A and B are shown apart, each in its own frame.
Chain A
Amino acid sequence: MTASPSPRRLAPAPALDVERIRADFPILRLKVGGKPLVYLDNAASSQMPQQVIDRLLRYQTSQHANIHRAVHMLSEIATAEYEEARRKIARFVNAREDREVIFTSGTTEAINLVMHGYGRKFLGAGDEIILTTLEHHSNIVPWQMLCEEKGARIRVVPINDAGELLIDEYEKLFNERTKFVGVMQVSNALGTVNPVKSMIAFAHARGVPVLIDGAQAAPHMNIDVQDLDCDFYALSGHKLCGPTGIGILYGKAALLERMQPFKGGGDMILSVSFEKTVYNTVPQKFEAGTPPIAAAIGLGAAIDYLSEIGMGAIAAHENALLDYATAQLERMPGVCIIGTAADKAAVLSFALQGVHPHDAGTLLNQEGVAVRTGHHCAQPVMQRFRIPATSRASFAFYNSMAEVDALVAGIRTVQKVFA
């Protein structure tokens, strides 16, 4: 790392200086069992740069108080910083208005908010919800709960052997009972990038609103909710180099205004009496109680950090990592890549012949390589491929080509143990 002031501020370079970026992440200096940590579990949670850690420290040491309440200085600072974080995220996803960004605990809560706030108000018996085989459990289970309560029904878009949605089948699922569509933009288990923009247009032509689960997409590409024209977009802060416990739901203002509150409590009301309570306006209507203020401000700092590097540069570097890793693994005997979509984000799921993923994960850990093994909270995907689990390497912009080499060497070691 050089000592010169950040050139990124002046003119964003087309390629990333990975070593310089890695220096921002203290955790990447860790050793695991004496070997350098090779962190390839970014789809589960990303790491936090010093800039975000410093921002959390500054908030907690000099700015903390409860928000939207008192008139004293700290409360006013905390409120301003919290709302500034909302503004940053609104710009990051290109929302029309700041109030279209609702802070949640993460993607899961954001989807649950839509289920309670929209689904329970506007869906009824016999109505149909379209989801896809690729969905994470967090975009399946809330809708099953709704179906159980309302007598609605879930229809599922199938996938092909590459892990791509069958768009013809998606279009055939629509009928006059179709009332909602939920689809992830990027598959956490396979890395498939779904053609959500055209799927949204198709649904809108039939008057059906669409929720996009953006948990895996937001860390890897430019998100423009106006260009997508999605009705809802959910994402998690901890996959964006921010803290855990914070995420957002973007919703079109007109829809959010028609929705019912999800949680009741302080901050979400204008007035309360035992005779009648008047709810606050959007977004406070959906933010009952004291929110994770520090985490929201930390997420704002993380978005500053990512924006400074540039999502275009991040995507280009991650795609190069994925291409390099894919080419390496394709050449290895006994290695089968699960998920071979034409359009993929930085996720590489694989199976090793004769080796259970849990054994592979334990042995890779011994080499310092952290991958996820399991069903990735996407059991329908595993059932589709008739496997119990996969090993998954998922890349972030701070990963290097040398780390891909470490993964490949680690896989060779696993294969040697089980030879």
Chain B
Amino acid sequence: MADTKALYQEVILDHNRKPRNYGRLDHPSHKAEGHNPLCGDHLALALDLQGERIAGIAFEGESCAICKASASMMTATVKGKTREDAETLIREFREMATGELDCGSYPHHLGRLTVFAGVRDLPTRVKCAILPWHTLRAAIHSQASTSTESEADPMHAPIGDA
């Protein structure tokens, strides 16, 4: 049984209520839109990549609390980091959410993002947590849009319908 009480922790509820970096950038260098057609989650992500560094990042959209909090905490975490750091975090977050990475036993860089570890027990909610990261990866690689249902997408989570 999933410990959903642990998933809806105050930090997640707080980021849902007051999302950080919510809005638009004046002059984004990279953009992507993320969409989960199964539940209607939708977010637009804008990046200001200066060289290898993420100087600015912002998102907006309509989504559930898990998705919005994940996006908010993601933007707060990757702001100021390099593209390579972001790629590492994207990979680690996905592995944590799908249960491939045991955060307790293996070294990682996720920090407070481990509050999302509980989604691994809620297969229908994994995509909600991953969507912002999915979208960040698309933005870094300058794809115009991405979807949790895109078969070819390397971030496609191996789970059933939401």
Contacts and interface: CB of A to CB of B under 8 A. Distances in A.
Interface of A: 32-34, 355-359, 362-363, 365-366, 373-375, 382, 388-389, 417-418
Nearest to B63: A356
A301 B62 CA distance: 46
Nearest to A354: B17
Given A366-B4, A374-B38, 12 more contacts: A32-B1, A358-B64, A358-B66, A358-B162, A359-B8, A359-B65, A363-B8, A365-B4, A375-B39, A375-B40, A417-B13, A418-B16
Interface in B38-64: 38-41, 62-64
B64 A359 contact: yes
B157 interface: no
Given A374-B162, A417-B13, A366 B65 contact: no
Nearest to B65: A359
Nearest to A32: B1
A186 B41 CA distance: 28
Interface in B1-30: 1, 4-5, 7-8, 13, 16
21 contacts: A32-B1, A33-B1, A34-B1, A356-B63, A358-B39, A358-B66, A358-B124, A358-B128, A359-B8, A359-B64, A359-B65, A362-B4, A362-B7, A363-B4, A363-B8, A366-B4, A374-B38, A382-B40, A388-B40, A388-B62, A417-B8
A366 B6 CA distance: 11
B125 interface: yes
Contacts of B16: 418
A34 B38 CA distance: 29
A283 B46 CA distance: 59
Contacts of A363: 4, 8
Most chain A CB atoms below 10 A, which of B5, B39, B63, B128: B39
B122 interface: yes
Interface residues of B, number: 21
Contacts of B5: 366
Interface string B121-149: 01011001000000000000000000000
A373 to B, nearest CB: 8
A355 B13 CA distance: 11
A contact face: mostly helix, strand, loop, or mixed: mixed
Contacts of B128: 358
B13 A418 contact: yes
A366 B1 CA distance: 9
A363 B3 CA distance: 10
The 8 A-B pairs at the shortest CB distance, nearest first, are namely A388-B40, A356-B64, A358-B64, A33-B1, A366-B4, A359-B65, A359-B64, A389-B40
Nearest to A362: B4
A373 B66 CA distance: 15
Contacts of A374: 38-39, 162
A33 B8 CA distance: 16
A74 to B, nearest CB: 37
Given A356-B63, A417-B13, A362 B122 contact: yes
Contacts of B4: 362-363, 365-366
Contact of A362 (B13, B62, B125): B125
Interface in B67-81: none
A375 B7 CA distance: 24
B39 A389 contact: yes
Nearest to A356: B64
Contacts of B8: 359, 362-363, 417
Contacts of A356: 63-65
A389 B40 CA distance: 7
A388 B62 CA distance: 9
A382 B37 CA distance: 13
A196 B51 CA distance: 64
A388 B39 contact: yes
Most chain B CB atoms below 10 A, which of A34, A359, A382, A417: A359
Contacts of B65: 355-356, 359, 418
B46 to A, nearest CB: 22
B81 to A, nearest CB: 29
Nearest to B122: A362
Contacts of B64: 356-359
Nearest to A364: B4
Nearest to A366: B4
A146 to B, nearest CB: 24
Contacts of B125: 358, 362
Contacts of A373: 39
